[in-house]
Amino acid sequence: MNNSLRILFVTPYVPASIRTRPNGFLKYLCKKHNVTVVCFVYPAWEAAYLGELNNFCDDVYPVIPTKYESYTRALLGLPSRTPISIAICSSPRLKSIIRRQINENKFDIIHTEFIRAAQYTSEIKDIPKVFDAVDSMNLAFQRAFHNPNSNLIIRALALEEWLKIKSYEPRMLRSFDHIVVSSPVDRKFLLIENGPDVEVIPNGIDLNYFHWDDSERDEYQLVFLGKMNYYVNVDSMVHFSKTYCLKFKQFVHKLDYQL
- What one-character-per-residue DSSP string does 175-224 give? T-SEEEES-HHHHHHH--TT---EEE------TTTS--------TTEEE-
pLDDT tens column, 92-101: 999 999 999 9
Chain centroid to CA 204: 14
Task: Assign 39 a pLDDT band (cuts: 50, 70, 90).
Answer: very high
Range 6-200 classified under CATH 3.40.47.10 = no
- Average pLDDT (74-87) is 91
Task: Determine the average pLDDT of the residues in 27-55.
Answer: 95
197-221 tens-digit pLDDT:
999 999 988 888 788 888 887 778 8
Q: Where are the domains of the chain?
A: 6-200, 221-258
- Tell me the mean pLDDT in the region 79-97: 94
51, pLDDT greater than 90: yes
What is the rounded average pLDDT of the residues 66-91? 90
CB 63 within 8 A of CB 83: no
pLDDT at residue 1, rounded to an integer: 43
CA distances from 26 to 12, 40, 87, 126, 134 (A): 15, 16, 26, 23, 14
At 139, the pLDDT band (50, 70, 90 cuts) reads very high
Q: pLDDT at position 242, please?
A: 84
